[in-house]
Amino acid sequence: MDSAPRRAVPGCALVTGVAGFIGSHLSDALLRQGTRVIGLDRQQPDGGSAAENLQSSLGHPAFDYVRADLRYDELAPAVAGADVVFHLAGQPGVRPSWGDAFADYLTCNVLGTQRLMTECERQCVPRLVLASSSSVYGQVAEGDDCREDAPARPVSPYGVTKLAAEQLCLAFAQRPAATTSVIALRYFTVYGPRQRADMLIGRALRAALSGVPLPVFGDGSVRRDFTYVDDVVSATLAASTAPARAEVVNVGGGRSASVTELLEIVGRAVGTAVPTSTSSAQPGDMRATLADPRKAGELLAWKPRVDLITGVARQLEWMTRHAATFVRRG
């Protein structure tokens, strides 16, 4: 199998999870470069966050929306004709993955991925780009970066399902007669406009703007490699054309900030300190994440361009322009 996709710019792309945070940004970027987009999501496109996220894409003549659930519905019509599939659909969140909710994580992140990969191979789609997560690494020592060849030892059920999805896709791509090549992208703490309501930076900005205290889990020393959504989209687009058969790639800047440092940045951006309350550390939370970005630079010719101070300012500016939206998301 030729490990390179057919076109430098895909003529047609399927984006699963298109109504979500990253999926909607990716759809907008694909449409700007002239790609026809089939957007698949299980949400109704005409209400709530889906309508807000897809405001630009839904009005574009090269965008078609397919409401479907990867776990149950027929996938052949959506996959047909795609030069690349961007698989961003899944059940997110570390903390909710404990307990009875695990069944949703298992079916969405593993079974849904298996069904999609099977259909891609049946239809000889040249490339699938999988949205994975830094959660697959598990606990690492503070200051140590995460390399793609390091052992993956997730410490949450969510991380376990993301690692399983990776391994499924790579197993398909490594078969001798495989028709679909795979790049799995391990995203590191993505933030920016349209961010999910449960994510830290949006919650911190809302707390500073509203005066309602932000619960901080632990002592604020937890560190994250925060990655701005535009940088994540550019890496994801690059993965659609990079020469590869079955690869895993970090998408993170190689710099981390503690929760305390982040709250200081948010406070300076808003002009008032972030009010906080203290909560106990949560099971499954990683102490630190820090990407080794060298492989992304070599394989994808990618490097992040938006630093944390700039990215927080951009998210704040978006939130102030969409006040009604972020109040509903909160």
Annotated active-site positions, please?
A: 158
**CB-based burial of residue 301 (10 Å sphere; 0-12 exposed, 13-18 middle, 19+ buried)?**
exposed
Whether the CB-CB separation of 176 and 122 falls below 8 Å is answered with: no
Cα–Cα distances in angstroms (integers) from residue 203 to residues 31, 54, 68, 73, in the given order: 30, 22, 30, 34
Tell me which DSSP letter residue 147 carries. P
Distance CA 183, CA 173 (A): 9
Beta carbons of 277 and 207 less than 8 angstroms apart: no
Instruction: Round the CA-based radius of gyration of the chain to a whole number and report it.
Output: 19
Structure tokens belonging to residue 117: 């990969």
Q: Distance (Å, rounded) from C-alpha 65 to C-alpha 39?
A: 5
CB 94 within 8 A of CB 138: no
The Cα 178–Cα 111 span in angstroms is 19
At residue 14, the 3 state secondary structure works out as strand
Amino acid at 259: V
* Residue 38: its H or E element: strand 36-41
Q: What is the DSSP letter of 155?
A: S
271: left (phi over 0), alpha (psi -120 to 50) or beta: left
SS3 148: coil
Q: How do the residues of the chain divide into helix, strand and coil, expressed in percent and rounded to 5? A: 40, 20, 40
